């Protein structure tokens, strides 16, 4: 972890495995973790990995439509970040959203069912892979338009502060998203109005087929300086480093309503979407640590695989939405038993 106020040298290529023991294990956020909590962090990362690996044959069998953007390689970021959430902290991200969904505590059955487009999916089969939501877990999606979620995350922070709660929002984006105008407008609003939001850049080096160097001028996180915002840069393969960095930034946000940009160095092991070429794949090493015995690792892995299998069975057995469902969930009002608006036509259903 490093706090920045001056240009940083580009970080080294990410190493997949964590240094054992992590130099960040002693940071306050990590020192207080119990053994069970540490194992739980590991378990979550494995659950994400196994869930997504299980998606692949389903996608290849044609049962998942559209895009499937896998989070494989980035698990430590979402799990580390979401493990710091208190009851008034919120998360929002882009379309690469499976990891965050599992990290905030969503059940994998409705997640898999959503990929199948089934009515039992977390968005009733309406959203698909890019649009997972769980407001009850303070998870505000899953957004398909690059950068579009960043003003929303700023709005979550605005609402938290407005309502006098002690919390913060973490708005995740990719390294390509930083070049959207909406992101810069949000930066300014957050800094100008002291909003408790962290703009978390998951820098996996690529936006689709474009490397960071070919799409962005300068150091991504450093753009915060123009708005007088604090910024951090850290590695994304050591979950303790992610936690230590975000814990500090979150504490500032909650206590002082100070926004920050956090650029996390990570790596995307698969193609942009499953259908895209996959040249960047590299071998994966499991994370190892003293608290994890071989027996625990094996147990966790077997349980995660079994869970993914159950999710597939659940999704397979679930029905699709019906034709009538297409026009439900469009307006709050039309989903109520009685309407308040007058006028006959809400929906133009041609004869």
Ligand X SMILES: Cc1ncc(C[n+]2csc(CCOP(=O)(O)OP(=O)(O)O)c2C)c(N)n1
Kindly tell me which residue out of 99, 127, 141, 144 binds ligand X, with binding defined by CB under 6 A.
144
Q: Is 341 in the site for another protein (CB under 8 A)?
A: no
The residue among 204 and 245 lying less far from ligand X, judged by its C-beta, is 204
Residue 60 has which token pair?
A: 């290849």
What's the Cα-to-Cα distance from 91 to each of 83, 94, 110, 171, 186, rounded to whole Å? 11, 11, 19, 6, 16
Question: Is 348 a residue that touches another protein (CB under 8 A)?
Answer: yes
3-class SS at 173?
A: strand
Q: Are 70 and 270 in contact (CB under 8 A)?
A: yes
Which of residues 145 and 317 has its CB atom nearest to another protein in the complex? 145
Q: Which does 96 bind (CB under 5 to 8 A by kind): Mg ion, ligand X, another protein, none?
A: ligand X
For Mg ion, give the closer residue by CB, 149 or 207.
Answer: 207
In whole angstroms, how close is the CB of 257 to Mg ion at the nearest point? 29
Choosing from 30, 129, 138, 204, the residue that interacts with Mg ion (CB under 5 A) is: 204
- Region binding ligand X by CB under 6 A among candidate stretches 153-161, 168-176, 237-245, 335-343: 168-176
Question: Using CB under 5 A as the criterion, what x/- string covers residues 40-69 for binding Mg ion?
Answer: ------------------------------
- Cα distance from N-terminal residue to C-terminal residue, the chain: 62
Judge residue 36's burial from the number of C-beta atoms within 10 Å of its C-beta, 0-12 exposed, 13-18 middle, 19 or more buried. Answer: exposed
CB of 95 to another protein, least distance (A): 9
Q: Choose, by CB under 8 A, the member of 80, 99, 110, 125 that binds another protein.
A: 125
Nearest CA to 110 out of 128, 87, 135, 91 is that of 128
Residue 117: name its binding partner from ligand X, Mg ion, another protein, none (Cβ under 5 to 8 Å by kind): another protein
By the rule CB under 5 A, 174 interacts with Mg ion: yes
- Which burial class, exposed, middle or buried, applies to 78 when counting CB atoms under 10 A from its CB (0-12, 13-18, 19+)? buried
List, in sequence order, the alpha helices (H) in the chain.
Answer: 28-31, 35-60, 75-82, 98-104, 108-116, 149-162, 181-192, 212-215, 239-256, 294-317
Exposure on the CB side of residue 248, measured as CA atoms within 13 A: 18
* Residue 127, both tokens: 């959203």
Nearer to ligand X, 141 or 167 (CB): 141
Tell whether residue 139 is a contact of ligand X (CB under 6 A): no
The DSSP letter of residue 139 is B
Single out the residue of 73, 80, 144, 155 in contact with another protein (rule: CB under 8 A): 144
Q: Which does 34 bind (CB under 5 to 8 A by kind): Mg ion, ligand X, another protein, none?
A: none
Nearer to ligand X (CB atom), residue 265 or residue 307: 265
Asked if 207 interacts with another protein (CB under 8 A), we say: yes
Least separation, in Å, of the C-beta of 291 and another protein? 40
> Does the protein bind ligand X through residue 192 (CB under 6 A)?
no
- Within 206-225, which residues bind ligand X (CB under 6 A)? 206-208
Query: Is residue 200 within 8 Å of residue 170, measured between CB atoms?
Result: yes
CA 50 – CA 263 distance, rounded (Å): 26
Establish if 259 lies at the interface with Mg ion (CB under 5 A).
no
Which two three-digit tokens encode residue 252? 């500032």
Does 196 bind another protein (CB under 8 A)? Our answer is no
Q: Does 73 bind ligand X (CB under 6 A)?
A: no
Q: Is 147 in the site for Mg ion (CB under 5 A)?
A: no
d(CA 177, CA 258): 22
For β-strands 2-4 and 230-235, DSSP reports them as antiparallel
Tell whether the torsion through CA atoms of 232, 199, 204 and 114 is positive or negative: positive
- Residues at the site binding another protein, with contacts judged by CB under 8 A: 65-67, 114, 117-119, 123, 125-128, 130-131, 143-148, 176-177, 179-182, 207-210, 214-216, 320-323, 325-327, 330, 347-351
- Residues at the site binding ligand X, with contacts judged by CB under 6 A: 96, 144-146, 173-177, 204, 206-208, 268, 272
- Residues at the site binding Mg ion, with contacts judged by CB under 5 A: 174-175, 204, 207
């Amino acid at each position: 972890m490093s706090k920045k106020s001056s240009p940083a040298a580009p970080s080294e290529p990410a190493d997949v495995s964590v240094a054992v023991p992590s130099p960040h294990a002693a940071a306050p956020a990590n020192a207080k973790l119990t053994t069970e909590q540490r194992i739980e962090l590991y378990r979550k990362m494995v659950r994400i990995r196994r869930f997504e690996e299980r998606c692949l044959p389903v996608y290849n069998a044609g049962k998942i439509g559209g895009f499937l953007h896998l989070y494989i390689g980035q698990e430590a970021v979402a799990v580390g970040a979401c493990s710091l959430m208190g009851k008034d902290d919120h998360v929002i991200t882009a379309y690469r959203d499976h990891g965050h969904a599992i990290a905030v505590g969503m059940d994998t059955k409705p997640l898999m069912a959503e990929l199948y487009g089934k009515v039992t999916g977390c968005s009733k089969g309406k959203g698909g892979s890019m649009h997972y939501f769980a407001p009850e877990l303070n998870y505000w999606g899953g957004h398909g338009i690059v950068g579009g979620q960043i003003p929303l995350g700023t709005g979550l922070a605005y609402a938290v502060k407005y309502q006098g709660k002690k919390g913060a929002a973490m708005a995740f984006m990719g390294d390509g998203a930083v070049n959207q105008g909406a992101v810069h407008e949000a930066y300014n609003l957050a800094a100008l109005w002291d909003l408790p939001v962290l703009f978390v850049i998951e820098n996996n080096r690529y936006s689709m087929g474009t490397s960071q160097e070919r799409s962005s001028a300068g150091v991504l996180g450093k753009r915060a300086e123009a708005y007088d915002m604090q910024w951090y840069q850290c590695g994304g393969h050591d979950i303790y480093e992610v936690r230590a960095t975000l814990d500090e930034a979150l504490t500032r946000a909650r206590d002082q309503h100070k926004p920050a940009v956090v650029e996390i160095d990570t790596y995307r092991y698969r193609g942009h979407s499953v259908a895209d070429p996959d040249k960047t794949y590299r071998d994966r090493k499991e994370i190892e640590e003293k608290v994890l015995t071989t027996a625990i690792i094996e147990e966790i892995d077997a349980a995660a695989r079994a869970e993914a299998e159950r999710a597939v069975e659940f999704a397979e057995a679930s029905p699709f939405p019906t034709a009538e469902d297409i026009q439900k969930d469009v307006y709050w009002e039309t989903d109520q038993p009685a309407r308040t608006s007058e006028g006959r036509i809400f929906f133009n259903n041609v004869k």
